[in-house]
Structure 1
Amino acid sequence: MESKKEMRELFCFSNYKSITKFVNNLEKFFLQKKNTYLCSSNSIDMEQIDKTYLNEIKNVDNVNVYFGKTLEELKCVISDDGFREHEIFIKFSGPRKYEITKVNLPHLPYQDEVYNSINEIIDTFRNHVINLSNYFFELEQIDQFCSIMEPLHPTYKDEYRKIALDERTWLHIEVTPDGAAKNIYLIGQSEAWNDKLQKGFLTWDHDKSIIDNIISTFDISSFSNKHHIILSEPVTTMLEKQHCAICLCEELPDNPSVPQPICQNNACGVYYHRSCLYEWLLASAGGRPPAFGVATGSCPTCCHPIACSLLEK
């Protein structure tokens, strides 16, 4: 009973003004006990949470460190030169065994490695953040000046954006880690928009920002106020709760996406969730697996030829 009382007092975080003070008290407690307990009441021995581990947490410089649900789980917050804060989640698996469990950035090529120390992870992560400076800039410019249809809640982890050009046409664009544009195509494309895009590919200037190239490609400056909707506006002013014509829902609980104008028939104007349309086309084809992962068939609304792949973002 006494040990449980001590543990409750130890983990009363309102008693601490800094993580250093908490770690110091935690270290003293461990030195007095043969075993200790996690907040979840699961036991852990001294080989897992040892003095070296606690000292390393205390000696992390210029980085905010937080414990997760257990003492083996840490979250480190690193700030870059643009005053952005980036989170990296770390798991302590044993002496000199640290793993990255989650990063809110594009996948690290070294994310699956095992590290010797927290500082080694932080140094690697900080270098990765520095190398992504152009990536951050391009995404921020797109988010600021364009009406983003997807992702619903854009983050730096999302390497793509789907931008509204008009009520039925979206521009899909991906940003590489060095800040270049790739895999650019139209969704629900019209002939006029497609012609502009094809000409834009020929004059795309890699010395300019992505948003400058988009403005130049689609001649945004010549838009009338009525159609100049690519500039930042609340999405609801452009599209009043578009619903999927198959499931009749705006959002799916297990799929954070909105219906898209996938059909290329200009007279159709119907929106579908990509997953709903994919399943519809599969069922219409008798459930046969599609070639190369692309389901084809007819639009459920206008019967225009249509194709859909779940591999697209």
Structure 2
Amino acid sequence: MKEMDLINELLNAESCNSMHCFMNLLHKYYAEKPVIPSQNLTSDLIDKELIDEIEWISRNISVSFGKSLKDLKCCLMDEEDLREHEIYLRYKSHHKLTITDVKLPYSPHQDREYSSINEVVTVFRNYIESLTAYFQELENIDKHCTVVEPLKPTFKDDYRRILLDCRTQLHIEVTPVGSARNIHLIGQSGPLNDKLHTGLLTWDHDRNIVENINCIFDLDNIPQNQDTYAEQLDNKVEGPSCNICFCVHLAECQGLPQPLCQNPKCDVYYHKYCLFQWLVACEGGRPPAFGVAYGSCPTCLQPISCSES
């Protein structure tokens, strides 16, 4: 069978509409054409050993191809059988597979090469099992809190910015073991800042993150339901614009404008990206020490600072 005939069959949805049909066609192709040694593989072929492995492993987990035969996607369920995690692979050469994308917090597992799909599955299944508490904490935050950033949160994002009131957000990061770190206020007000400092000293590690937040800020329920906020995003309800670029959405910055000035009388919003660039420019364009720029609020001229990250 010629290669073009095989390609035409694979593109024909009626004759190749499942993984089983796809494997039968590939076996038919390889039965008629010897496998080339790995060092001589052409760019449009993958070795039969990998095809056999895909056929075997697809009986237990979902495996599919992307835009080419070199792009693969494996879907793994966690040990609770509640969450499906997608792992995207790229076949580079014989016994060389790399990770191109995965919706999980960064780990060195994403940067190494693998000799087989089974090795990828084993490594990431163990990694996913170690993140059970991490998943639970993020899901609990997304369910009970108004998450302002990320706009479309995933497990790849290990932080959340929670709306406390119309001017104040709480930034909190979740470690792989499910504990909280780097907790601070954005657009902070004096009373809430005092509550946070006091609450961090009495943080109860036997409670989850949401319970601790409710306890610190004396909130029975965090103000706005997340479904309502998501609905506003879907309906593209425009919020306050940045007082520097005069836009709500900015290509260079995924976040929305925030009330970054600590002056309670300054009801002005900025993108962090815009404010940082503004403060750096006011200081002559020199990179700030430790990634934090200091200066005056462009609107009320009160002292203000902004981090690059």
Mapping for residues 170-189 of structure 1, pairs under 5 Å: 170-189=169-188
User: Equivalent residue for 1:115?
Assistant: 114
Q: What is the identity, as a one-letter code, of the residue corresponding to 1:30?
A: Y
RMSD between aligned residues? 2.4
Q: What is the identity, as a one-letter code, of the residue corresponding to 1:185?
A: H
Residues of 2 paired with 1:144 and 1:232: CA distance? 7
Cα contact 2:98–2:111 (8 A) shared by 1: yes
Q: CA deviation at 1:16?
A: 3.1
Name the CA shift for 1:234/1:120 in 2 (closer, same or farther; >3 Å): same
Mapping for residues 47-62 of structure 1, pairs under 5 Å: 49-60=46-57, 61-62=59-60
Partner SS state of residue 144, structure 1: helix
Cα contact 1:35–1:45 (8 A) shared by 2: no
Residue 260 (structure 2) pairs with residue 262 (structure 1): yes
Cα contact 2:257–2:272 (8 A) shared by 1: yes
Cα contact 1:10–1:26 (8 A) shared by 2: no
Name the CA shift for 1:248/1:3 in 2 (closer, same or farther; >3 Å): same
Residues of 2 paired with 1:2 and 1:108: CA distance? 43
Cα contact 1:100–1:111 (8 A) shared by 2: yes
Structure 1, 171-180 or 71-80: larger mean CA deviation: 71-80
Q: CA deviation at 1:213?
A: 0.4
User: Equivalent residue for 1:280?
Assistant: 278
Name the CA shift for 1:192/1:200 in 2 (closer, same or farther; >3 Å): same
Deviations 1:166-225 (A, max 9, x none): 00000000000110000000001111101110111111111110000001011002x8xx
Name the CA shift for 1:303/1:32 in 2 (closer, same or farther; >3 Å): same
Partner SS state of residue 110, structure 2: coil
User: Equivalent residue for 2:26?
Assistant: 26
Identity %: 48
Cα contact 1:148–1:161 (8 A) shared by 2: yes
Residues of 2 paired with 1:165 and 1:150: CA distance? 13
Name the CA shift for 1:234/1:190 in 2 (closer, same or farther; >3 Å): same
Partner SS state of residue 306, structure 2: strand
Residues of 2 paired with 1:46 and 1:180: CA distance? 45
Residues of 1 paired with 2:6 and 2:289: CA distance? 63
Mapping for residues 151-170 of structure 1, pairs under 5 Å: 151-170=150-169
Q: CA deviation at 1:4?
A: 2.9
- TM-score of the two chains, using structure 1 as the length reference: 0.88
- TM-score of the two chains, using structure 2 as the length reference: 0.90
The count of aligned residue pairs is 299
Partner SS state of residue 192, structure 1: helix
Cα contact 2:45–2:69 (8 A) shared by 1: no
Cα contact 1:47–1:94 (8 A) shared by 2: no
